[in-house]
Chains A and B, each alone.
Chain A
Amino acid sequence: MLSSPPKLYVDNVCMTFKTATGVFEALVPVTLSIPSGRFVSLIGPSGCGKSTIFNIIAGLLEPTAGKVLIDGVDATGTIGRVGYMLQKDLLLPWRSVLDNVILGMEIQGVPLREARERALSLLQRYGLSGFEYLYPSTLSGGMRQRAALLRTLLFDTDIILLDEPFGALDAQTKLQMQEWLMQLWSDFGKTVLFVTHDVEEAIYLSDEVHVMGTRPGCILESILIMLPRPRVRTSSLTPEFIAIKEHCLNLLTASAPALPEAA
């Protein structure tokens, strides 16, 4: 086991942005080592550089220093090695759900017929049957997120990055979507990186949670979540779960800049 490289290795990645007022340090060395098939979450206050890390892993942004290795091979600045679901669902309003979902395959040059066939069976299996030929504007928030996530999945990479996919959903829908995502993850065995603001969500879903701090963005602590799978809702009531949650919240509050009035 030790001999094979991790699926994804983020090696001392730093990022500074040049801004009007000077330079802004968004990330000081961040290192992540993620074995194949893991579900890993990043949590942290907004502005701590979570999306920036994702942009770097996806190859859309060149880090100021450091490397991204996939299967031990340098993939820094290489586009197309990971499926990336951006923070907004970004469904194209002029395409039907089906044609939205095949966008990645289409860009990769998969023939339309084949792409649609593959997508149809997936849409039907994962809760979007009957929605295939509708336009995104007619879909609820949860359905839109499903479509966006399936689009990412159909791009067919081993690693997928999900940037706050459930951030804008109501609590009830969010719980459903978590179960749905767990189903997908166990069916496809992808390596998942998941960004969320919600500590409970991170712990419930993940094998590992990395708690990030801000100014500059860094990883404060990496926590292995040893809770047994499959997890159930009541898992969150166990003492282990509560202890982990408390620990994470402490890290987040300790790192948060003191505000005069807000809690």
Chain B
Amino acid sequence: MSKANSATLASASPQYRNWLQRNRRDQIFVRVTQLAVLLVLLILWEVLPKAQIINPLFTSYPSMLWPTFLELLTATPQQASILSHTLSTVVATVIGFAAAMVLGTTIAATLWWWNSLYKVLDPYLVVANAMPKTAFVPIFYIWLGATLSIYGMSLAISLFVTILMIYSGFQSIDPNKIKLAQSFGASKGQILRKVVLPGSVPTLIATLKVNAGLSLVGVVVGEFQSANLGLGYLIQYGSQIFKMNIVMTAVTILAIVSSVMYLAISWLEAVVMRRR
């Protein structure tokens, strides 16, 4: 691929090269602007409380993030290290997220296999998906206990949307492709494995993107209620003792975690889609 690209570049007409250059410049411009926006927000966050335009008690400052982080790094008898909190949140998110993908895909495949089952369950799925899952946090806590309820929340919040998205991906496979496989005598299982599942990879990736965010929400909300570990717990704790430094540091780490997940999925997407 890259070899072909450089070959085209070398033999490109000056107009084409100009166009590529301009394209490249546009891209750089977008990136620089994005960074500038971030910088402006950080500066406002720093300056407005310092100038007493807003109450610093409510917002803390970006310059406090790093010192607070360092402070939280060491574990005390009452409080785990912030690294343990982060790890706990990330692990719960990944588990909930992986479970939602596997379970959701399996259920979607089952519904695809038995269409009448889908017809029966359709309204339940739609309603379950529309339910505010966070309402179940206390219920899950009672049912599942402190740790499992967090995984449960993370799964519940992304499971139904996974089922619905993947099922509709299965439905949107070109029926002629299925007909082609049938004309070769394919069984239903073969159609699923050779046409429907591989044809749904773009849907699976789109679902991953949605789920990464949702699972994180589920975990944090679960941690608000039940944990003594995790960034959700740390936020809850920090706000109770009114230490916005702690809250903002935890929130910033959450932002970093979601960015990393987003980048990882984009990378996966690029790898998978390169072969199409």
A107-B190, A135-B276 are known contacts. Are A92 and B195 too (CB-CB below 8 A)?
Answer: yes
Beta-carbon contact of B185 and A107 below 8 Å:
yes
Is the CB–CB distance between A155 and B184 below 8 Å?
yes
B142 located at the interface, meaning its Cβ lies under 8 Å from any Cβ of chain A in the complex: no
| Given A92-B195, A94-B275, A106-B194, A60-B182 contact (CB < 8 Å) | yes
Q: Which of B149-190 contact A (CB under 8 A)?
A: 174, 176-177, 179-186, 190
Q: On chain A, which size bracket covers the interface?
A: 20 to 34
What is the 8 Å Cβ interface bit string for chain A, positions 4-30, against chain B (1 contact, 0 not)? 000000000000000000000000000
**Stretch from A36-44, A80-88, A192-200, A204-212 contacting the other chain:** A80-88
CA distance in complex: A87, B174 (Å): 13
B199 within 8 A of A: yes
Contact, CB under 8 Å: B194 / A58: no
| B198 within 8 Å of A (CB atoms) | yes
- Answer yes or no: A79 CB below 8 A from chain B CBs: yes
- Interface secondary structure of A, over-half rule: loop
Contact A103 B184 (CB under 8 A): yes
Chain B 30-60, CB-CB to A under 8 Å as 1, else 0, gives 0000000000000000000000000000000
Q: B98 interface residue, CB < 8 Å from A?
A: no
- Chain B residue at minimum C-beta to C-beta distance from A88: B176
B206 within 8 A of A: no
Shortest distance between the CB of B8 and any CB in chain A (Å): 14
Q: Are A135 and B275 in touch, CB under 8 angstroms?
A: yes
The reply on B253 being an interface residue by CB < 8 A is: no
Q: In this assembly, does B148 line the interface, its C-beta being within 8 Å of a C-beta of chain A?
A: no
Residues of B within 8 A of A (CB): 174, 176-177, 179-186, 190, 194-195, 198-199, 201, 275-276
Q: Is there an interface contact between B185 and A93, defined as CB atoms closer than 8 Å?
A: no
Q: Count how many pairs of residues, one from A and one from B, have CB atoms less than 8 Å apart in the complex.
A: 51
Q: A107-B190, A108-B185 are in contact. Are A86 and B180 (CB under 8 A)?
A: yes
In the complex, which residues of chain B have a beta carbon less than 8 angstroms from the beta carbon of A106? 194
**By the criterion CB–CB under 8 Å, are A92 and B199 in contact?**
yes
**Contacts A88-B176, A92-B195, A94-B276 known; 9 new A-B pairs at CB < 8 A:** A79-B182, A80-B183, A90-B180, A94-B198, A103-B194, A107-B181, A108-B184, A135-B276, A155-B184
A94-109, CB < 8 A from B:
94-95, 103-104, 106-108
Chain A min CB distance to B275 (Å): 6
Q: Which residues of B contact A79 (CB under 8 A)?
A: 182-183, 185
Least CB distance from B7 to A in Å reads 15
Q: Are B201 and A94 in contact, with the CB atoms below 8 A?
A: yes
B211 to chain A, nearest CB (A): 22
| Chain A stretch 45-98: residues in CB contact (< 8 A) with chain B | 58, 60, 79-80, 84, 86-88, 90, 92-95
* Cα distance A108–B181 in the bound complex, in angstroms: 10
CA distance A18 to B179 in the complex (A): 20
> Which residues of chain A are near B180, meaning CB under 8 Å?
84, 86, 90, 103
Which of these, B185, B186, B198, contacts A92 with CB under 8 Å?
Answer: B198
Is A183 at the interface (CB under 8 A from chain B)? no
A7 to chain B minimum Cβ distance, whole angstroms, is: 18
In the complex, chain B residues whose CB is within 8 Å of the CB of A86: 176, 179-180, 183
Q: List 18 A-B contacts (CB under 8 A).
A: A60-B179, A60-B182, A79-B183, A79-B185, A84-B180, A88-B176, A94-B198, A94-B201, A94-B275, A94-B276, A95-B198, A103-B180, A103-B181, A103-B194, A107-B194, A108-B185, A135-B276, A137-B276
B-contact bits for A150-178, CB 8 A (1 contact / 0 none): 00000100000000000000000000000
Is A107 within 8 A of B186, CB to CB?
A: yes
Q: How far is the CA of A130 from the CA of B177 in the complex (A)?
A: 25
User: In whole angstroms, what is the CA distance A90 to B113 when docked?
Assistant: 22
Complex Cα distance, B272 from A135, in Å, reads 13
